[in-house]
Chain A
Amino acid sequence: MTDEDPQRLKSTGGTPVELARALRALGGDDLDAARLARVAERLDAAIAASGTPATSWLRAWIGTKVGLTSLVVGVGALGVLGYALTANPVAPSADVPAAPAPIAVSAPQEPARARPPEPQLALGEATAAPAPAPVREQPRIDRPAGRSHARPRNERIRTNHGASVAATAETARRGALDPGAASSPEPGAASSPEASAAGAREPGGAGSAGPKPANTPEPIEGRSYADEQPPAKPAATPAQRSEVALLHQARKTAKREPEAALRLLDEHARRFPNGVLVPEREVLAIETLRRLGRDAEAEQRLRRFEGRYPQSIHLRRLERAPAAADDD
């Protein structure tokens, strides 16, 4: 019974022609290229953000792990430090040489408000500050260019996460060291300002306090994400979007003003020689040329298209189109 499906209307002789044609038209309604590219892009970003791909999932996991470890280590270190500070108020001054260095050298742009109790903070960070920044940078640099447009969001999400962990650690540290200090750098601004401030500070702290170094990579977490976020964000997306927009515009124009559409398509070819919508552009160009009666050009372009995309799903449509184009 299951295998004995009734004959489909499309393939039954008795079906009115127009119905059969309507059914075929409904099923042959292609998902337009712009929509596909758009949704693919969004999906990609969303998936990257949700951490599904193994790499980012792994990195997120490592991030959490590292963040927690360093939190624990940091709090422990602060306890010891706090004890040292209260027990012997002179102690911090021993480290004073190390403290000004980070501000002057590595974070000149950092507002002074962020670290009033300098000696203590520098100490606290130094204990938790490790050095191996390059380790985390590596995988990201290596990634294919195609990934770039998805990265910003991905980064941002993890940035917030990393930053909040870092921020917590920091606040805890400050609180332990100096209750007054905790309130000075705008409490509640858990994300970017504080994170970047923290980030800017860490490497200097690590560098200047060379001897301390530990195996807790937490600050790097805060640093690398916070640092990368702003430049990465506007990177690839606008270009992609305008590619889609340009083609969309051409498509809209194609029927009424084929000449204008061809100009838009030329612009597309110039600006996005290797864009994601090259096949769609070519298909539209071929159709538009045909509409204008420039069949030789269309034919030539079609041959090139065939050579370049022999597997393209558009070919079927392009092959059967000429006849129908004449009816237009």
Chain B
Amino acid sequence: MSGTQRPREATADLPSRLREAFEEHGAFVCRSLRYLGVPEADLDDLLQEVFLVVCQRLTDYEERGRARSWLYSICTRVAQAQRRKQRRSRGFGPVAEQATDATQLDHVQDREALELGWRLLEQLPEQQREVFVLYEVEDMPMSEIARALDCPLQTVYSRLYKARARILAQLQRLPAESEP
């Protein structure tokens, strides 16, 4: 029945712009939800939810042109709503662990690097973590981060610097166990 489908058409039935958004930013949204502490088990649901919101507001998407900050702000809202619904405390540790387990990175080095990455992120308070991740991992410009988090640029800077200092300090303490 679905035998005639070609691979690209896995998402072919979404309105085309939503499909583009999903193909282009699906991975980013997925990572963002993880950074926001969404457990692996809820990831599918929330991923879907984010893109349903996107679908409802596709016009915004076009106008803003800064897809990722917009998507990230949707992610934060969706993740928050979910947390409220489940009254789950913010346990980031398990999320980091699950994310490492679920990774598609097959090679030992990548895996270790990823584990270390999550371990470092775990140490950061949430607000610093999101700035750090969006900037250092996702390469988002500072101005866009400010927009995504809806906070002043100065705040973003100070969070980034605090996060960096913390991460670097953490790294000093880690080598014993993480050095190969």
Q: Which residues of A contact B (CB under 8 A)?
A: 1-3, 5-6, 8-10, 16, 18-19, 21-32, 35-44, 46-48, 50, 52-53, 145-150, 235-236, 239-240, 255, 272-279, 287, 309, 321, 324-325, 327-328
Contact = CB atoms under 8 A, between A and B. Distances in A.
Contacts of B12: 146
B136 interface: yes
B107 interface: yes
Contacts of B30: 31, 35
B109 A324 contact: yes
Nearest to A148: B1
A52 B114 CA distance: 39
A47 B137 contact: no
Nearest to A8: B136
Contacts of B10: 36-37, 40-41, 276-277
A116 to B, nearest CB: 41
B48 A273 contact: no
Using C-beta atoms within 8 Å of the partner chain, give the interface range for chain B: 35 or more
A189 B85 CA distance: 33
Interface stretch (B68-76, B86-94, B138-146): B138-146
B143 to A, nearest CB: 4
23 contacts: A2-B143, A2-B153, A5-B141, A9-B164, A18-B171, A19-B167, A24-B113, A25-B116, A28-B110, A29-B114, A31-B27, A31-B31, A32-B104, A42-B48, A43-B51, A44-B13, A150-B13, A274-B6, A275-B5, A277-B7, A277-B10, A279-B7, A327-B107
B11 interface: yes
B107 A324 contact: yes
B156 to A, nearest CB: 10
Contacts of A28: 105, 110
A200 B139 CA distance: 60
Contacts of B52: 43, 46-47, 50
A40 B105 contact: no
B135 interface: yes
B67 interface: no
B124 interface: no
B11 to A, nearest CB: 4
A113 B109 CA distance: 72
Given A2-B153, A22-B114, A321-B107, A146 B2 contact: yes
B2 A42 contact: no
A53 B13 CA distance: 9
A46 B11 CA distance: 13
A25 B104 contact: no
A178 to B, nearest CB: 45
Most chain A CB within a 10 A radius of its CB, from B9, B12, B106, B114: B106
B174 to A, nearest CB: 8
Interface of B: 1-7, 9-15, 18, 22, 26-27, 30-31, 43-44, 47-48, 51-52, 55-56, 99, 102-111, 113-114, 116-118, 120-121, 133, 135-139, 141-143, 153, 160, 164, 167-168, 171, 178-179
Main secondary structure on chain A at its contact with chain B? Answer: helix
Given A35-B44, A43-B48, A236-B1, A276 B7 contact: yes
A8 B137 CA distance: 9
Contacts of B51: 39, 43
A148 B1 CA distance: 8
Contacts of B153: 1-2
A26 B31 contact: yes
B86 to A, nearest CB: 20
B106 A47 contact: no
A309 B8 CA distance: 10
A50 B52 CA distance: 10
A102 B42 CA distance: 51
A279 B22 CA distance: 17
Contacts of A277: 7, 10
A152 to B, nearest CB: 12
A319 B14 CA distance: 31
A20 B47 CA distance: 28
Contacts of A48: 13
A31 B103 CA distance: 8
Contacts of B164: 9
